Amino acid sequence: MNPRAREAVANIMFDLGVDPWDAGPLRFSRVFDAMNVMGLIPAQQGRIEGYDVSLLPSVPLSCFVDVAELFGFGTPYDLNELPRFPRRKPLVSCDEWRRRLGISEQNP
């Protein structure tokens, strides 16, 4: 999908009050489809309870290691064309995460 199209959709979602986030390339949709199926299992089994899946911001692993090198992913082909999504709160910098976690540059 074109990065500008993704930005346009993200801006529409933002205007509707939803905080959009980038889940990566379309090929990753299989993962989210599987998570959705898992959430439907209680209904399929006739149970009253269900499950909600929430994705919450966390400490970005990329602040501490080169994820592409660590897992052997290589550099994403679209790294320089990533869409920009609107945010209600500013991102927390890697320096701020290190400060919060008590990690200094001399002591990685």
Average pLDDT over residues 67-73: 85
The number of folded domains in the chain is 1
- Supply the range of the domain harboring residue 48: 3-101
Whether 52 is covered by a domain: the verdict is: yes
Whether 106 is covered by a domain: the verdict is: no
pLDDT tens track for 90-103: 888 999 989 988 88
* pLDDT category of residue 105 using cuts at 50, 70 and 90: low
Three-state DSSP state, 104: strand
* pLDDT category of residue 108 using cuts at 50, 70 and 90: very low
Query: Do 83 and 7 contact (CB within 8 A), yes or no?
Result: yes
**Which ranges in 1-108 belong to alpha helices (H)?**
3-15, 29-44, 67-71, 94-101
pLDDT tens track for 34-52: 888 888 888 889 998 887 7
Would you state the pLDDT for residue 106? Answer: 54
Query: Do 11 and 87 contact (CB within 8 A), yes or no?
Result: no
Whether 107 is covered by a domain: the verdict is: no
